[in-house]
Structure 1
Amino acid sequence: MNDYKIKELYEKMEMDLIDSMKRNLSRHLAEEEEVGFKYTQWQAEKLKELKRFQRENKKIIGGYVKGLNKEVSKHLQEELKQGSISAIKHYNKVLGDNKNPSKLMNRSFFRTNDRKVKALIKAVNNDLNKANIGALRMINDEYRQIIHKSAFFVANGVKTEKQATSMAIKEISEKKATMQACDEVSKSFLAGGLNCIEYSNGRKVNIASYAAMAVRTASIRAHLMGEGDFRKSIGRTLIKVSTHGGTCKLCARWQGRVLIDDVYSGGEPDGKHTLLSEAMEQGLFHPNCRHGIFTYYPELEGISYDEDEGDEYLPDFLKEKYNYYDRLGKSWNRRSRGFIDPDNKKDARKNYLACEKKKENIIQIVNNKYKNLTNVTKNNRIKGRIPNRRLNYSVDSEGNKYKNFFFEENKKITNEIKYQKILERYLNEEVSLNPKARGIDGKRFSDYWIKKKSKAWDLKTLDGESTEIIDNVLGKACKKKQAPNIVMHVGECPHSNNYLKEKLIETFEKGKRPYVKEVMLFSKKDNLLLHLKRK
């Protein structure tokens, strides 16, 4: 059971506990119609039922966590195995070898790592068990507090603006006052949920988030153990840290750095590289860290050490907004499920649905502004020989043709010649090199021209270390009124493919550089990374 499923399980458990609390608090409220409702009687009944409520909660939690330890153990064992498999596959890919993972991962592999993984499993299961006990204690305490503290609000009224207005119009019943009092006392708990985990700095964390973090952290460590075991077996202890856009301050200094893996591969100091243990002490692989490490082969250049994150990818600036509304929505949903008063419940439900709408808008913002054609373009890629195509005239940015033209020497336009074929292969259109025109000033001539669509494309190579290299290249194209359709090729650029993809998506998301209509981004190895087109 991975971290996502763990979080989902604990969120369901939290909702069931809130439903249980609401059922027990609501019981006896209906008696007003028959015998007349009295708060003191209701409070006395709730205190009598406290033990039954505690037994019910214990049963709910037990039902959710039964067998959970075994599921976590199974998951971590699998992560250990997958860590070694991924390291072996990476080795085969970059060095052209054909090592068989099943042969390398024999009994000795599992025996060597058995003690380490068992310690990891024991630690995470202990953390989860403590969290379960904390959840039970918290829900029981909250129930007690609601029963006792509600007396103050029943006596003095709930001083929210809306309820004060309602009370001014008509005197509310004792039943209504009890409902509002229970909601007032419980609203802080319902807003935060089961925040039963408290760190040393006083920060409290929701049980679902904590459980997911605990399992995620353990999963990463198990995976790294597997990778490290293979590195150790081949005598390779240098690693490279992955790179991500919008990283946190703790990890920023370690991105793309080559380190010595002294933690999982038994590497020793060489006087040149920092130890992984030192980087971890200073914050690398903190809880919820997105970074990974990959075996570094110094004899090879131009190898990507970052895993592909796929095309359906939210950039960080949108992900932060999405997560904000996700947390806020869950907070309102808990209140909607836990409130007793119908008016409070209705308002909470309305706010929850508003947050869900915001999340929908963020997911669909991509489709509203542009199309991500990457998968379509890859699938339409044609095979076979692509001919060299050159126009026998020159075309400027306005579509005017010129007969007096020239091509530069081939050695000066090697990339342009290569990408004429690549562009035609991916676009499945006849793409021709566009020559320059003699004696024409003040006109722009693109690198490529597609006759059937009268469409111009320019080739740009990404060279340099600027973190805003994507925006810089597009900015120049806009300023000089070059072709609005651009092919980008990664050259001498230290940034990862994922970082460049994120930056390009961000440009389209935020509506920046609107002059540019379509962009295709290719890796150093001439593989298509991203194809975006504005609507």
Structure 2
Amino acid sequence: MPVSPALSEDLAAAVADLYEAAEGTLIETIRKALDQGWDSPLWAQLRLAQLGQLQTAINEIIAALQADATGAIHQAVAEAYDRGSQAAVAELGALAPGVHSIPAGAQAIDRLARAVVDDTGPVYLRMLRTSTDVYRNVIARASAPSVLGAQTRRQAAQSALNQFADRGVTGFVDNAGRSWELRSYVEMAMRSATARAAVEAHSDRLGEAGVELVIVSQAPEECPLCRPWERKILARTGAPGKREVQVEHATEDGEMVTVTVAGSLPEARAAGLLHPNCRHTVSAYMPGVSRVPKAQPSRGTYEDTQKQRYLERQTRKWKRRAAAAVDDQERKKANANVRAYQKRIRELVADTGLPRKSHREQLATAR
């Protein structure tokens, strides 16, 4: 069976869920620490006196997350590598019946998992700093001289909490200089690692069977990075660049076949093919047997898919707002916005034919 980043994206999402759930727990912990004694003139002093207890609670959340996540990262990468290996074995089938033993790939798994663990190392310190800074900021804004009475104090606190719920823990910058929120950053790192593990394992198994050419599928709503490689034949390894090669027929001994190779798989991947969220697959190409698939119309456009993802992010944003609400009115307002964005998603999928992915509208909850 072909291999693609989609083969392991559930593994990446499961790890990212751990971080999103922890972030939700942080919001809830801060809200509960603030949501008491609004009528007291000593509200700010009492809340600041609890800062040490809050930091202890936050550290416990972060320690539990770190312990769970480290194991989950290694497990996800190992599972992705195994899936890639199994995909190659299933794809080769009767053409290479000897390819049934799947090496563990321990070095590749450890290398890829360690890279993610190292990349996410600063996350934990950032979570602690952001949470305590938000707590202090809420208290400062709610106790400013312009704020009079319990109600306006509550409103000022809610405004500050809303800002935190909207952006979450941020400040993570990738190698390209792009800034990410917590869940997106972790999921991006995990999707990259698990996709690489699956593709490397698949490619290694094909190489062991003597298969040196692969073909890229067509994927719906393809992005500009992947479009140049769609339905193209690639060399599994080797030099970049388009060329014609003479190779032996996959099933006829001595018969040669001319194949146009668009480049190498490493070249295509470096140019963006099989990026996180990519829907393309790569499969073994058997000269003289495999056929280049015909172009198929897409259900929508790449821009449609990006609009859908924006609406999904907004849905999750307002669900976080509901979790941060300190009164029923604010909670009702947030839930109304959730329903409004979900309505827009239903309209978009009805107009374009894109599949609705309800799981991307949900917030992960603490285990």
Task: Give 2:21's aligned residue.
Answer: 12
Contact 2:217–2:293 under 8 Å retained in 1: no
Is 1:217–1:288's contact at 8 Å kept on the other side of the alignment? no
Which residue is equivalent to 2:30?
21
* Structure 1 residue identity aligned to 2:221: G
Does the Cα contact within 8 Å between 2:30 and 2:135 map onto a contact in 1?
yes
One-letter amino acid of the counterpart of residue 68, structure 1: A
Counterpart for residue 371 of structure 1 = none
Q: Distance in 1 between matches of 2:106 and 2:177?
A: 35
Number of equivalences: 325
Equivalent residue runs for 1:281-360 within 5 Å: 281-302=270-291, 319-359=305-345
Map of 1:99 onto structure 2:
97
Per-residue deviation at 1:204? 2.8
Which residue of 179, 188, 211 maps to 1:236?
A: 211
**Equivalent-residue separation in structure 2 for 1:231 and 1:250 (angstroms):** 25
Q: CA deviation at 1:292?
A: 3.0
Residues of 2 paired with 1:339 and 1:329: CA distance? Answer: 16
Residue 176 (structure 1) shift: 0.8
Matches within 5 A, 1:33-112: 37-38=40-41, 41-92=42-93, 96-97=94-95, 99=97, 101-102=99-100, 104-105=101-102, 109-110=103-104
Q: Distance in 1 between matches of 2:142 and 2:154?
A: 9
Structure 2 partner of 1:185: 160
Choose between structure 1 and 2 for higher RCO, CA contacts under 8 A separated by at least 6 residues: 2
For residues 199-232 of structure 1, give each alpha carbon's deviation from its aligned partner in whole angstroms, at most 9, with x where no partner exists: 4666432212222222221111111121111122
Distance between the aligned counterparts of 1:98 and 1:202, measured in 2? 44
Give, as a single letter, the amino acid of the residue that structure 1 aligns with 2:114. K
Instruction: Determine what percentage of the aligned residue pairs are the same residue.
Output: 24
SS in 1 for 2:234: strand
Q: Assess if the C-alpha contact under 8 Å between 2:232 and 2:292 holds in 1.
A: no
TM-score scaled to structure 1, two decimals?
0.55
* AA aligned opposite 1:261: R
- Find the aligned partners of 1:238 and 1:25 in 2 and give their Cα distance: 61
- Distance in 2, matches of 1:65 and 1:315, equals 39
Residue 114 of structure 1: which of 106, 111, 116 is its match?
A: 106
Paired amino acid for 1:286: H
Q: Secondary structure at the match of 2:219?
A: coil
Instruction: Write out aligned runs for 1:131-146 (5 A).
Output: 131-146=123-138
TM-score, normalising length from structure 2? Answer: 0.77
Report the residue type matching 2:267 in the other structure.
E
CA separation of 1:91 and 1:287: change in aligned 2, threshold 3 A: same
User: How many angstroms does 1:322 deviate by?
Assistant: 3.9
Secondary structure class of the residue paired with 1:250:
coil
Gaps of 5+ in 1: 158-172, 307-312, 367-502, 510-535
State how 1:498-517 maps to structure 2 within 5 Å: none
User: For 1:200 and 1:120, how far apart are their aligned partners in 2?
Assistant: 16
The offset of 1:17, in angstroms, is 0.8
In structure 2, distance between residues paired with 1:200 and 1:232 = 31
Shift of 1:24: 0.8
Superposed CA RMSD: 3.1
Kindly tell me: are residues 270 and 362 of structure 1, through their superposed partners in 2, closer, same or farther at Cα, counting changes over 3 Å?
Answer: closer
> What is the 5 A alignment of 1:384-463?
none
> Which has the greater radius of gyration?
1
Using the alignment, how far apart are the partners of 1:52 and 1:71 within structure 2? Answer: 29
User: Which among 255, 259, 271 is matched to residue 234 of structure 2?
Assistant: 259
User: Counterpart of 2:81 in structure 1: which amino acid?
Assistant: L
Partner of 2:172: 197
Would you say the 8 A contact 1:6–1:208 is kept in 2? no
